[in-house]
Amino acid sequence: MSLNASLFAKAQRFIPGGVNSPVRAFRSVGGVPRFFAKGTGARFQDVEGREYLDYVGSWGPLILGHAHPEVVAAVQEAAERGLSFGAPTEAEIELAELLCRLVPSLEMARLVSSGTEATMSAIRLARGYSGRDLLVKFEGCYHGHSDSLLVKAGSGLLTFGNPSSGGVPADIARHTLVLPYNDPEALTDAFARHPDAIAAVIVEPVAGNMNLIMPRPEFLAACRELTARHGATLIFDEVMTGFRVGLGSAQGLYGITPDLSTFGKVIGGGMPLAAFGGKREIMEKISPLGPVYQAGTLSGNPLAVAAGLATLRLVQADGFYETLSARARRLCEGLCQAAEKHNAPFSAQSIGGMFGLYFAPTPPASFAEVMASDAAAFNRFFHAMLEAGHYFAPSAFEAGFVSAAHSEADINATIEAAEQFFAAF
């Protein structure tokens, strides 16, 4: 048995499914997950000493690649001063201030430790602020694993949601309406059907948890216009897109100002850190200022804040996002050309440092279209690329990521490996 396989067998004895987050188990693509030992830059190495070019980047945080020396040094320096104080530190102010400066819709921000906490807290805040219970989310968007969000659409488009996970009470799920992404009419109908009842609309401004789906500009505009008209809070969940699609995040690219936003992944630079923030009037409803409770023993943890500050300092370099975007674009163009040469039904697109690959002739625009892509073909692609040393997300329904550490030569090597796969397609 290979070392990866024996570790996986052992892991399954002590950890459910052998993993601490489900998609790591390779269930969707089959086979044995790789156990990783170390990484630098665009590459990481498994316990068998095999090296891979990494297109997952810890699912988004590693915009600078693995173990960036300046980020590691910042964490080491912070660690020497103390791991946690459970009391305020100056660096927390610096990070909150920086977030507010880089994302103008934030007038105040609060730091938490995971994206799930950020979205859960933003939703509680929106409900507390409005005194309303109903939440609107969109099919295929993921906002972490809190109860209100593990909900799928009811039988009719405008009926209340049903739990999509065991353990979520139906009584909680029915406060969430699930609507199709990119469909302004469905949102218009929902507000008409539930006047003065919707507390918030939460949306991934670029959807990155059902593969990559670009928003239609009129969809995001409708989210903004309808929430404003009906007194609901618009929450942009930028846990994935924040500082990933551009320095101003997705809201900067699309020129839309949400009421609240959530961040995670990149802002922690690989450490557990996330944030939610927005309008002062809303943020002042949080404890200790207001009645909406929210707290965290390790919130604003000094090591995580140090990693986040170092990362956000480096992404502000001139031309950072231009280069990152060009690498992701080159990867997508190269893969499409390789597929086209061999008549494989394949498409790809990118925005900033994130990309989507689809075994479908054109990029999908909705959850239903994503689900219609050829997952079996993706799985063959995944395993062929893994074998060749190119690590993509182990699922046809996840976005991919490039980092600033990916060189043009790295990208070209991946395109070449893909060309060999398509030649045998």
Ligand X SMILES: *Cc1c(COP(=O)(O)O)cnc(C)c1O
The residue with its CB nearest to ligand X is: 115
The reply on whether position 148 binds ligand X by CB under 6 A is no
Among 128, 144, 246, 394, binds ligand X (CB under 6 A): 144
The reply on whether position 138 binds ligand X by CB under 6 A is no
Binders of ligand X in range 290-349 (CB under 6 A): none
Q: Which residues contact 286 (CB under 8 A, 6 or more apart)?
A: 110, 121, 125, 292, 294
Q: Pick the stretch among 64-72, 112-120, 253-261, 290-298 that binds ligand X (CB under 6 A).
A: 112-120
x/- mask, ligand X, residues 257-296, rule CB under 6 A, reads -------x---------x----------------------
Spacing of C-alpha 376 from chain mean position: 24
Spacing of C-alpha 150 from chain mean position: 16
Q: Which amino acid is at 86?
A: G
Spacing of C-alpha 167 from chain mean position: 24
Among 139, 237, 369, 398, binds ligand X (CB under 6 A): 237
The residue (of 7 and 150) whose beta carbon lies closer to ligand X is 150
Q: Print burial letters for 332-358: b (CB count within 10 Å at least 16), e (below 16).
A: bebbbebbeeeebebbbbbbbbbbbbb
The residue (of 117 and 410) whose beta carbon lies closer to ligand X is 117
Asked whether 46 and 37 are in contact (CB, 8 A), the reply is: yes
Among 29, 239, 360, 386, binds ligand X (CB under 6 A): 239
Asked whether 215 and 403 are in contact (CB, 8 A), the reply is: no
Closest CA to 346 of 289, 277, 418: 418
Provide φ and ψ at 374, rounded to 5°: -85, 90
Cβ 59 to ligand X, closest distance in Å?
Answer: 6
Cβ 263 to ligand X, closest distance in Å?
Answer: 10
The reply on whether position 204 binds ligand X by CB under 6 A is yes
Q: How far apart are the first and last CA of the chain?
A: 29
Q: Pick the stretch among 195-203, 211-219, 233-241, 321-329 that binds ligand X (CB under 6 A).
A: 233-241
Cβ 252 to ligand X, closest distance in Å?
Answer: 17
Binding residues for ligand X, per CB under 6 A?
A: 114-116, 119, 142-144, 204, 208-209, 237, 239-240, 264, 274
